[in-house]
């Protein structure tokens, strides 16, 4: 019997490891973009390159304003893990058309739109996220979110 993890579990473990670099005070998220069983790019949620993150700024603004999870992303100082992974692929000149993205948490609506336009055709997540618009947008685009079994 093969005791190695499945490819989905293997790449999700990589996304979980990537999430440990997150500087977000509310939720640590990691993303890994994979094409033909090769990692193309990784990303975690945190402040833009070279800028202070929330802990250095005295805390999370969304937390201070009691903004519920999944809402008012424009108030967040950080980029999301999916955004950073897509940006990293672009910076490195790597096509992600037809790729799979592994994300520790289901993408929000903003990230869902970016995933669709980037040509990613499969999304694998470990945990859900309270964003109904994201679910609707992904369904309309024909992208199914695969939830890994625990």
Q: Which of 74, 82, 127, 149 is catalytic?
A: 82
Strand 145-147 with 122-127, pairing:
parallel
And the tokens for 119?
A: 């040509």
Helices 81-91 and 7-19, axial angle in degrees (round to 10): 100
Let me know if 82 is a catalytic residue: yes
Helices 109-118 and 81-91, axial angle in degrees (round to 10): 30
Residue that has been written with the tokens 């990303």 in this structure: 43
And the tokens for 136?
A: 């609707």
What is the spatial order of strands in the sheet that 30-35 belongs to? 38-44, 30-35, 100-105, 122-127, 145-147
Q: What span, in angstroms and rounded, lies between the C-alpha atoms of 136 and 61?
A: 28
Residues forming the active site: 82
């Amino acid at each position: 019997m093969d005791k190695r993890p499945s490819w989905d579990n293997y790449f999700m473990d990589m996304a979980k490891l990537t999430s440990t670099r997150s500087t977000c005070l509310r939720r640590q998220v990691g993303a890994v973009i994979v094409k033909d069983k090769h990692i193309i790019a990784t990303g975690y949620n945190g402040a833009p390159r070279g800028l202070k993150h929330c802990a250095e700024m005295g805390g999370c603004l969304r937390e201070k304003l009691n903004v519920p999870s999944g809402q008012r992303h424009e108030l967040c100082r950080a980029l999301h893990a999916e955004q950073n992974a897509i940006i990293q692929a672009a910076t490195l000149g790597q096509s992600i058309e037809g790729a799979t993205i592994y994300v520790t948490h289901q993408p929000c609506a903003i990230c869902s739109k970016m995933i669709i336009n980037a040509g990613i055709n499969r999304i694998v997540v470990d945990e859900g996220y309270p964003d109904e618009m994201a679910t609707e947008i992904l369904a309309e685009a024909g992208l199914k979110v695969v939830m890994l079994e625990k």
